[in-house]
Structure formats: C-alpha cells, structure tokens
Amino acid sequence: MLVIGLTGGIGSGKTAVSDRFARRGIPVIDTDLLARELVEPGQPALADIAAEFGPDCLDDEGRLHRARLRERVFADPAGRRRLEAILHPCIRVLARERIARLTTPYCLLVIPLLAETGMTDLVDRVLVVDAPEAERIRRVMARDRIDETQARRILAAQADRDQRLALADEIVENASDLAALDHRVATLHRHYSTLAATRAC
C-alpha cells in the first residue's frame, strides 16, 4: 500500500483536495477524525486526558470539552506536548490498523500538522496543499465565520510555509478555482496510480 500523506496549513484546501481523491475511489484516512474517535467516552485516551488536565476538561456528560482543552493548551507549549504524548501514539496505532485493512493501490492519510508532529514515518510520500496566506485567511474567515485576528492567530500557531514545503514530494498550488484544483488532482491521481503499480511489480 502506497500511503500519501496529505498536509497543508489551515484553509489551504486539504478537504477540497481529499474529497476529489475520494471521488476517484481513493480511501481517505484523516488523523483529525482518528483523534476524535480516540477521545469518545469510554476510550482510554479520554481518561488519560482527564487525569492529566483535570475533570473540567470534560462536560457534564463526560465528553471532552474541546473548547476548554484547546484554550488550555493553546498558550501552553508544555501542556500541548503532554496532550500530544497521550494522543499521538494512539493515532499512529489506529492509522496503521486502518491502512492495513485497505485493498486499493494507494490511500491518502491526512495529517494537517505533519510538519509539527513528525509523523512522516507513517507515509511514503508527502503531498502539500499550498495557497497564499491572504487567500487562506479569507477562506477560513468565510467558512468558520471568524474575524481576521482569530484567523491570523490560528495561522501563526502552525508551522510556516517553508517548513511544510520542505517535506513535499508533490505540491498542489490551490490558488485558483475549484475546476483548476480538480484538474490537478486528476493529474496526481494518475501519477500515484502509476507509482503504486510500479512498486507492486
């Protein structure tokens, strides 16, 4: 199984890209969704988080209070590292399990914070979605109904563009319209299908 790691900053268009691979029959495993599964009530990682960060990171029904935890670790790098130490090993195990079940020639593993987490060992190639910062801010403000200050704050907490691009085997320049994006994904799909077939020989 050829595993393509898909990454990119917030608002770059990762979902727009992964949706277009999915439409072509390529399985998409999203590590953000795996992380959500891992903190469902009853999961060991949720208990570990509550033990580490205190019961107020859970709501009245015992579910993770995401906003509270996010606020807590946003300005606290040590806290963020403790949270990652709980979640990342579980994400790796779950991602490998899900990939092992697949039968397609290749799959996408979406790792938004690939440059920050060093999860590159999970993937064979890295596909970076890139778009100009001003465009990303505009898209995120429109999609999430947040103001420019909030959008810039999120961007500033992520790896910078050069760090991400340094990891790239392939790049999607998503600065134009969705028709152009679709065309680029079609080209990449052919490229990855060929690579997967060559590896299988």
Taking the least distance from each CB to ligand ATP, the nearer of 15 and 31 is 15
Minimum Å distance from CB 137 to ligand ATP? 11
Taking the least distance from each CB to ligand ATP, the nearer of 36 and 199 is 36
Minimum Å distance from CB 191 to ligand ATP? 20
Residues 65 and 117: their CA atoms lie apart, in Å, by 23
Minimum Å distance from CB 144 to ligand ATP? 7
Taking the least distance from each CB to ligand ATP, the nearer of 2 and 114 is 114
Residues 181 and 160: their CA atoms lie apart, in Å, by 22
Residues 85 and 78: their CA atoms lie apart, in Å, by 11
- As to burial, measured by CB atoms within 10 angstroms (0-12 exposed, 13-18 middle, 19+ buried), residue 111 is buried
Minimum Å distance from CB 160 to ligand ATP? 15
Helices and strands (DSSP H and E) totals, the chain: 10, 5
Residues that bind ligand ATP (CB under 6 A): 8, 10-16, 112, 139, 143, 174, 177-178, 181
Taking the least distance from each CB to ligand ATP, the nearer of 58 and 107 is 107
Residue 170 phi, psi (nearest 5): -130, 155
